[in-house]
Structure 1
Amino acid sequence: MIHSLSLSDVLADHARSRPQVTAVVDGAVRLTYPELDARVTRLAAALRARGVAKGDRVLWLGQNAHAVLELLLACSRLGAVFCPANWRQSADELRFVVDDLSPAAVAYEPSDVTQALRQEGWVQAGEEYESLVATGQEQEFPQVDDAEPVLALYTAAFDGRPNAALLSSAALVAHATSLLVVRQMEPVFTFLNNGPLFHVGTMMFCLATLQIGGTNVFTPAFDPEEVCRLIDAERVTQAFLFGGMIDAVAKANESGKYDLSSLRFVAHSAAWDGMITVDDSPWCRSKMGGYGQTEVGGMLTFLGLAEGGAGFAGRPSPLVQVRILAPDGTEVPAGETGEICARGKTLFSGYFARPDLNAEKSKNGWHHTGDLGRREPDGTITFIGPRLRMIKSGAENVYPAEVERVLKSHPAVADAAVIGVPDETWHQTVKAIVALKPAEKASEADLIDHVRTLLAAYKKPRHITFVDSIPKRGFTPDYDALDEAHGGGNYPGA
């Protein structure tokens, strides 16, 4: 395994080469890299003594804490798989995760939900968790292949049921390396984990900080005042902040009580820019843009690699390939819409216990993201939206997501969904179901003209039905319900 480099290996090397660097800050807990490495070894030994073996799953039910990073690294040392679940979910949703994942060990923070789910042998965060770590004995662990899955993150339930995407150490190290280059991270980089660690957006920065030998600061969840305090106290370089979160932090520091100048971040507003150091890295200059998903380890493309480009998703990460493919697997020409497909070092290993879905997602040697995109003439990528299904009108392919995106850009439209309805001449024609914003008005002709000005004529809806709301399945329109209610059918391949 001379070429293998697991997350456990990264930690072990930092323990040797950065003996005085603080690896973790979590409230009163402060750990150097050697101290973190020793705790991870003891935790791995304790989990092994409880029966956790290679390939087994370990589940965390709780908010952000240093235990999340420790459990992930301990699983890397064991060859097991760690999953931080979405603590915001209901008891029924988390029960699905527990049943689906069949974890060999569970650590949890007490709440009404976890108390309802708790089973014998689960370890409570705090004293029980610390006792578990203390019981572990210093010992050697065999080398683990970095191609083995180590992290499981549940994806959004777009089809009504979430799936656990499995990411290997090799994929996570590759993605972290790409990110730290685009972000221009340095060894003194300090990241505030205030976003949810069950989300790849926070986890990818946590692991990039580990990769560069920086400091990870943990706080349970986003609290503007506490974010200000920690940025000041720990001289934080980067935090998980977007849009309204930035406004909330700026408001919490209106008095100037906290020194936020260590934060090297994206420009946002005059008040915000005056508090921080506006960063000049490609990541921040491009407003932290790009296209990504859990299955690609975080970011597949970076806007920071294509400043001034036509496509607002940028160009691919240096360690992946991206193609825009037609349904038959052929690459579509620049300017045409197709599915964003990828392969490369940062991609996931498939979904846990979903063989049929894995076969579908990896057909022809490419990961099919399920999202639509377009390659612009300058080679950059534009993200359009979820693929979900296709309408065949004459010889032309029409993707509902593309038309929906344009419809929702109309100022009077609150939501929209597009279906195909049978047509004797064209096989299918496009029909839109639209919900208008309260007190707004728009006619069928208005919206059809709006689409016609932005898309090819064959993509415009022939008919529009106005409704109060669009039925959903998970996060996306319930197309089956819409077909039944509005005469949809004749889809290619059906």
Structure 2
Amino acid sequence: MSVHRLTLGDVLGEHRRGRPLGTAVVDGDVRLTYPELDARVNRLAAALAADGVGPGERVLWLGQNSFRVLELLLAAARLGAVCCPANWRQSADELAHVLTDLTPKVVVWEESEAVEKARGQVSLDARWVRSGEEYEAYLPAEADEPAAEVGDDAPVLALYTAAFDGRPNAALLSHSALIAHSMALLHIRQMEDGFAFLACGPLFHVGTMMFTLATFQLGGKIVFTPAYEPAEVCRLIDAEKCTQAFLFGPMIDGLVEANKDGSYDLSSLRFVSHSPEWDAMITVDDSPWCASKMGGYGQTEVGGMLTFLGLGMGGAGYAGRPSPLVHVRILDADGAEVAPGEVGEICARGHSVFSGYWNRPELNAAKSAGGWHHTGDLGRREADGTLTFIGPKLRMIKSANENIYPAEVERALKTHPAVADAAVIGVPDERFGQSPKAVVVLKDGTTATAEEIIEHVRAEIASYKKPREVEFTDAIPKRGYTPDYDALDERFGGGAYPGS
């Protein structure tokens, strides 16, 4: 065993010893200290091991936010396995893809029509455990910590992202990558002893997961709620004295409306300035993270944030400077670094960079060419050394805080029996930043309304990815085999893409 090893399981063990009275998680009626969480993780690890979960095997969570996601992750950590919390909002077809792609040994799930349907679509040799009473009965009465020797470079977390070809890929993050990112975030956010994080955003999203793990790294309190509901979020902030929560513009507006009568004390929340009403309810935080309005550049493949505006406030580049534990180069198509002021691909290497995508050897080879992680995004190094994010090389739509890849929506559109061809662009949206618009060519002799096409896409993929508008046209302009998105934007009002 290396004396330099530090895994997530090791961090939990240290908190069990060093914080015997500290609250680790709160979820409804569940309140666990770090020793209690440690004991439950060992019991779960024993159950998983009995079902064949060992080094490199996968366990899958299909459900809303729960403290059980953290338990599954930590139990996988102690076995050398990989935990994947999947997007519970996906369609049955999308969930079936995750099941067949990831081939988990154990699936812990919450009842839903989509999960039931997906389960019926695949042939999978896996143990299915329903969250709740069945999950509790699955845990043995007691168990010792597993004896497995787990390297901290082993992947432990998988998050589906990057639907480059219409299907997402599972990014694998190691113990060391997650710990490194947590330490950088702890520094920029200036997280201190007693920090409490409210996980009210989805745990399949790196934005929620990165703060959950940073709070865990610190030995703080993590408060789980199944999903964002304004009044309940206000209640939890008040009751648990939360320091931070996963929130952005429209969510904050919802909290302001839910607390307009001042029923809840939100002053424990040290957060970003947003509006006079919001600022009066909370404590406006002056850490580099909050003072920069949580600015920077990131993606799942780097554990969350690659650069922080808090390290470059006042600079020319609005993505700031890289995390202290990575380094960044702006490279041209030949892998050579471009001069300051010139645009190239943002490439990185360092402690928080992921280990590649699950079961994607060709894509991994391309993404790590030359010993650098190629992010697929364009950027520019300014004269003062700060970085500017220009936008994705592969076009992406950002609606609220969700990434929507046109290729994925186009694939769903083309399964409609009346659709001959389709392309998807992002149009400016006052509330969400962007919303997807479909441009559709119908087959000769067929008819379909915009509403029918939107409902068809809703049934195929997650509802938030469906187009909000449909434009009909005679042909999709092309550049080679791909849609000419610039021409489509000009004709149909596209714009407001990330980085623009």
Do the two structures share a fold, i.e. TM-score over 0.5?
yes
| Correspondent of 1:157 among 138, 159, 163 | 163
Q: Map 1:295-306 to 2 at 5 A.
A: 295-306=301-312
| In structure 2, distance between residues paired with 1:470 and 1:92 | 22
Aligned to 1:396: none
Aligned to 2:60: 59
Aligned to 2:384: 378
| In structure 2, distance between residues paired with 1:299 and 1:39 | 31
- Does the 8 Å CA contact 1:195/1:240 hold for their aligned counterparts? yes
Q: Map 1:186-265 to 2 at 5 A.
A: 186-265=192-271
Q: Map 1:251-330 to 2 at 5 A.
A: 251-330=257-336
What is the SS of the residue equivalent to 1:122?
strand
| Correspondent of 2:479 among 482, 485, 488 | 488
Letter of the 1:240 counterpart: F
Q: Map 1:127-138 to 2 at 5 A.
A: 127-135=133-141, 137-138=143-144
Aligned to 2:373: 367
> Is the alpha carbon distance of 1:274 and 1:99 closer, same or farther for their aligned partners in structure 2, counting shifts above 3 Å?
same
Aligned to 1:332: 338
| In structure 2, distance between residues paired with 1:256 and 1:179 | 31
| In structure 1, distance between residues paired with 2:282 and 2:440 | 42
TM-score of the two chains, using structure 2 as the length reference: 0.80
Aligned to 2:356: 350
What is the SS of the residue equivalent to 2:59?
strand
Q: Map 1:433-448 to 2 at 5 A.
A: none
What is the SS of the residue equivalent to 2:47?
helix
> Is the alpha carbon distance of 1:331 and 1:35 closer, same or farther for their aligned partners in structure 2, counting shifts above 3 Å?
same
- Does the 8 Å CA contact 2:170/2:358 hold for their aligned counterparts? yes
Structure of larger gyration radius: 1
Please list every run of 5 or more consecutive structure 1 residues that lacks an aligned counterpart in the other structure.
389-399, 406-414, 416-432, 439-466
> Is the alpha carbon distance of 1:338 and 1:436 closer, same or farther for their aligned partners in structure 2, counting shifts above 3 Å?
closer
Superposed CA offset, 1:66-102 (max 9, x none): 0000000000000000000000000000000000000
- Does the 8 Å CA contact 1:46/1:137 hold for their aligned counterparts? no
TM-score of the two chains, using structure 1 as the length reference: 0.81
Shift of 1:266: 0.5
What is the SS of the residue equivalent to 1:152?
strand
| In structure 2, distance between residues paired with 1:311 and 1:263 | 29
Q: How many residues align?
A: 420
Superposed CA offset, 1:89-117 (max 9, x none): 00000000000000000000011112223
| Correspondent of 2:147 among 141, 150, 154 | 141
Shift of 1:143: 2.9
> Is the alpha carbon distance of 1:468 and 1:249 closer, same or farther for their aligned partners in structure 2, counting shifts above 3 Å?
closer
- Does the 8 Å CA contact 2:195/2:243 hold for their aligned counterparts? yes
- Does the 8 Å CA contact 1:435/1:470 hold for their aligned counterparts? no
| In structure 2, distance between residues paired with 1:75 and 1:300 | 26
Aligned to 2:81: 80
> Is the alpha carbon distance of 1:206 and 1:329 closer, same or farther for their aligned partners in structure 2, counting shifts above 3 Å?
same
- Does the 8 Å CA contact 2:171/2:357 hold for their aligned counterparts? yes
| In structure 1, distance between residues paired with 2:65 and 2:73 | 13
Shift of 1:437: 8.2
- Does the 8 Å CA contact 1:297/1:346 hold for their aligned counterparts? yes
Moved >6 Å (runs of 4+): 433-438, 474-477
Shift of 1:490: 11
Shift of 1:229: 0.2
1:104 aligns with 2:110: no
| In structure 1, distance between residues paired with 2:194 and 2:334 | 48
Superposed CA offset, 1:43-75 (max 9, x none): 001110111111100000000000000000000
Identity rate, percent: 65
- Does the 8 Å CA contact 1:46/1:135 hold for their aligned counterparts? no
Aligned to 1:45: 46
- Does the 8 Å CA contact 1:18/1:33 hold for their aligned counterparts? yes
- Name the Cα RMSD after superposition: 2.8
